[in-house]
């Protein structure tokens, strides 16, 4: 008779349990608005988290029920995550940078009855409820605030203090749902992505690999990427899994606040979108400051301009790791290994557990997968199969998910995203790829951010329009901007108009909000 191995369900509470037992005093640090920090060890955090599970059970919450959170990156939010997921309920993260009406629509779909909210977001919570949802309890974290709300809000700390009884964690199948996150909706209507314990567990093991994020117990990790978007790229699971220090910035992610936090908490690794690190490097340049402990910055969520990458690496003395992912991928797809030279726009190779395929517009696999551009499809253990609330699968007959990205894969297997299918501009029957124009303009030292959108044209169908945000104290003429494109892109790709914006509109994840740009500047 063959031997057997012990059953071990791949459920997420095990990461916090491991941290509490083997790294009990390793800290989770939360920056406060006044510049001070709250600190808690993993053992104490788990105790509080289990009490929250008991509170939830006392309010009738069972496995499979959805609990909404509307909160910044804080240890109180982490506690709520593990409390919800540990008992088998589903954490539905709401994005506080969306409107009350948008969030109410999402909360109505999830049928969440309880909303856990950061104190300074109570007005938005009240607006959500006013639009009509199933929410009948509001629990406040991250401080207190006098605010008249309907239904009345309660302090979660007070409920924890009154908590009695215990709830068994992990008493459910590993394929049970654990999280719900809606896509950013920067290029279309948001869709709900349901994560499972198994998918998130495997995703965590993948991002911890030495060729990926390579987080160790000696690291102090600054998670700037929001917890309300794609599991904060898995950091609330991966960091405690190795007993590293987890540093959470709260609401303040400006350059000065992040620089202070990096120095005070001896941060070795920081993770977030490119616009965040632009603010950091501009602050350091302006003040002449230094960040001696910081070794690596992992960027994702949007492409990073090569000029910005070089600027960050040279001024901060750090290694920039490029990456690509999506909410539908949990979200990690590819990450450039930390030991290889930075090469934007390359975003690295996929690690085990995720695979890539380039296809034509009809979804047929390209006969050659290297050195050609195609539409990118993905499949793997942490890739969406079906969106929340939809009957139809989001994958094709062979299990491939169409990302909507245009991409190339080089001879070494490195992925480069070359554009979005929905962003393509059809002019005179031919396609213009805005990403190629944006890459050239974004590399200019005078430019902070650049975007290209299509505008209706009576003769050509569509024509490109360039929008730029200038770097402070830098100037460049329209003629020089367009001249930088000549010889780099086809002459008929050169934009017909240029708009200079004081601030480029950004979505909650730090991506340029092209839906808003099209609404404001693409009308002809």
Distance CA 373, CA 280 (A): 34
Does residue 414 have a cis bond before it (omega within 30 degrees)? no
- Please name every residue paired with 325 in a beta bridge, in sequence order, or none if there are none: 332
- The DSSP-derived string for 388-447 is TT-SS-SB-TTS-EEEEEEEEE-TT--EEEEEEGGG-EEETTEEE-HHHHHHHHHTSTTE
Q: At what angle do helices 75-86 and 13-22 cross, to 10 degrees?
A: 120
Distance CA 163, CA 50 (A): 10
Distance CA 330, CA 326 (A): 7
Nearest to 53 by CA among 156, 197, 176: 156
Indicate which residues carry an active-site annotation: 183, 328, 426, 431
Distance CA 63, CA 88 (A): 4
The strand ranges marked E within 224-367 are 245-248, 269-272, 296-299, 319-325, 332-335, 349-350, 354-359
Label residue 194 exposed, middle or buried (CB < 10 Å: 0-12, 13-18, 19+): buried
β-pairing, 319-325 with 296-299?
parallel
For residue 275, the 8-state DSSP code is: H
């Amino acid at each position: 008779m063959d031997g057997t191995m012990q059953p071990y369900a791949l459920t997420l509470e095990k990461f916090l349990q491991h941290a509490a037992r083997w790294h009990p005093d390793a800290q989770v640090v939360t920056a406060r608005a006044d510049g001070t920090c709250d600190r808690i060890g993993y053992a104490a955090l788990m105790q509080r988290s289990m009490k929250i599970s008991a509170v939830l059970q006392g309010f009738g919450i069972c496995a499979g029920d959805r609990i909404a959170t509307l909160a910044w990156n804080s240890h109180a939010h982490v506690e709520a995550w593990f409390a919800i997921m540990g008992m088998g309920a589903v954490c539905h993260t709401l994005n506080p940078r969306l409107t009350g009406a948008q969030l109410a629509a999402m909360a109505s779909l999830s049928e969440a009855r309880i909303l856990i909210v950061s104190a300074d977001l109570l007005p938005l919570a009240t607006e959500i409820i006013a639009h009509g949802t199933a929410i009948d309890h509001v629990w406040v974290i991250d401080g207190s605030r006098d605010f008249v709300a309907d239904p009345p809000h309660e302090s979660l700390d007070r409920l924890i203090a009154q908590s009695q009884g215990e709830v068994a964690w992990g008493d459910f199948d590993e394929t049970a749902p654990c999280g719900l996150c809606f896509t950013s909706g920067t290029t279309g209507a948001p869709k709900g992505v349901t994560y499972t314990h198994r998918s998130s567990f495997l995703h965590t093991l993948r991002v911890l690999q030495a060729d990926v994020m390579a987080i160790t117990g000696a690291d102090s990790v600054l998670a700037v990427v929001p917890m309300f978007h794609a599991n904060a790229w898995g950091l609330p699971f991966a960091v405690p899994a190795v007993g590293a220090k987890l540093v959470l910035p709260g609401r303040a992610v400006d350059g000065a606040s992040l620089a202070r936090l990096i120095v005070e908490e001896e941060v070795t690794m920081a993770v977030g979108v490119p616009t965040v690190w632009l603010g950091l490097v501009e602050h350091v340049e302006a003040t002449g400051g230094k960040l001696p402990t910081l070794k690596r910055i992992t960027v994702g969520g949007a492409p990073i301009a090569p000029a910005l990458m070089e600027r960050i690496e040279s001024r901060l003395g750090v290694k920039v790791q490029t990456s690509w992912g999506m909410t539908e991928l949990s979200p990690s797809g590819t990450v450039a290994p930390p030991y290889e030279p930075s090469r934007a726009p390359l975003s690295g190779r996929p690690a085990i557990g995720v695979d890539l395929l380039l296809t034509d517009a009809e979804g047929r696999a390209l006969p050659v997968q290297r050195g050609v551009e195609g539409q990118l499809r993905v499949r793997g253990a942490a890739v969406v199969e079906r969106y929340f609330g939809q009957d139809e699968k989001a994958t094709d007959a062979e299990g491939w998910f169409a990302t909507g990205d245009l991409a190339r894969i080089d001879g070494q297997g490195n992925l480069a995203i070359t554009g979005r299918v929905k962003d393509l501009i059809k002019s005179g029957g031919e396609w213009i790829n805005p990403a190629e124009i944006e890459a050239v303009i974004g590399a200019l030292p005078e430019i902070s951010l650049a975007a290209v959108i299509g505008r209706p044209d009576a003769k050509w169908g569509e024509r490109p329009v360039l929008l730029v945000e200038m770097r402070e104290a830098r100037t460049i003429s329209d003629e020089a901007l367009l001249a930088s494109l000549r010889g780099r892109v086809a002459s008929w790709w050169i934009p017909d108009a240029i708009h200079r914006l004081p601030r480029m509109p950004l979505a909650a994840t730090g991506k340029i909000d092209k839906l808003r740009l099209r609404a404001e500047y693409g009308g002809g």
